[in-house]
């Protein structure tokens, strides 16, 4: 396992990300990786360096990549990342945060549903896109395309959960979960009370 957090290190830019990427992937057995470049100087070139090395991570099963508030990150960097994910054969879980990256539009996310069928090991994909150029309607469109994907194009064992969340949806999801937990707890208490009677 490996974790690297250079968040709020404003002096860390593309060269630093490239150097880190070269070191990271020298371990051929690397299974879990967590990288946080949030609020740094990393942009498309830095992410491209990561992408070039990621394609050789044959044993990687879990990737967490936080790129919050990267003003130099554009669609080109995100598209490069999405295109390489299917080349990582054992990848099961992917978590990505692009919130606050104002130069990112819906374009990379339009391409995302085309890549997922080529990721047979994938079980979970989570992407945060609050405060970007990706709107709630863009998110709904991608979700619809994913749900309309032919079952034959996905492994029977694959259960992909894709959450493209805007901030308001994130808060709504949490409220719904809390409400469900509250009512489930009350229902359980009520059934116990009836059993005692």
- Provide the angle, in degrees to the nearest 10, between the axes of the packed helices 44-54 and 14-24: 10
Q: Is residue 86 pLDDT above 50, yes or no?
A: yes
Higher pLDDT, 114 or 175: 114
> And the tokens for 156?
């029977």
Name the pTM for this structure: 0.74
The number of CA neighbours under 13 Å toward the Cβ of 113 is 18
47-61, 67-81, 114-128, range with the lowest pLDDT: 114-128
Domain boundaries, the chain: 2-165
| Mean of per-residue pLDDT scores for the chain | 78
% pLDDT > 90, the chain? 36
Helices (H), 25-106: 44-54, 75-84
Phi, psi of 159 (to 5 degrees): -135, 90
Structure confidence by residue, pLDDT tens digits, 155-171: 322 333 344 444 444 44
Which whole number is the average pLDDT over 68-74? 96
CATH 4.10.410.60 fits 2-165, yes or no: no
Q: Residue 187: what pLDDT? A: 54
User: What is the rounded CA–CA span in Å between residue 119 and residue 87?
Assistant: 8
């Amino acid at each position: 396992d490996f974790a690297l957090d250079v968040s709020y290190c404003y002096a860390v830019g593309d060269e630093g990300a490239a150097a880190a990427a070269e070191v990271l992937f020298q371990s051929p057995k690397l299974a879990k990786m967590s990288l946080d470049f949030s609020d740094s100087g990393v942009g498309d070139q830095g992410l491209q360096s990561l992408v070039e090395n990621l394609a050789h991570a044959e044993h990687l099963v879990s990737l967490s990549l936080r790129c919050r508030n990267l003003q130099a990150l554009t669609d080109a960097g995100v598209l490069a990342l999405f295109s390489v994910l299917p080349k990582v054969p054992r990848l099961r879980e992917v978590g990505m945060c692009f919130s606050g990256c104002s130069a990112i539009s819906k374009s990379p996310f339009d391409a995302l549903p085309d890549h997922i069928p080529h990721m047979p090991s994938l079980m979970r994909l989570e992407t945060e896109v609050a405060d970007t150029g990706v709107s709630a309607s863009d998110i709904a469109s991608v979700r619809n395309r994913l749900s309309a994907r032919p079952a034959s194009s996905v492994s029977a064992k694959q259960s992909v959960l894709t959450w493209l969340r805007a901030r308001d949806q994130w808060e709504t999801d949490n409220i719904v979960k809390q409400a469900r937990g509250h009512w489930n707890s009350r229902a359980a208490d009520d059934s116990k009370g009836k059993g005692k009677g």
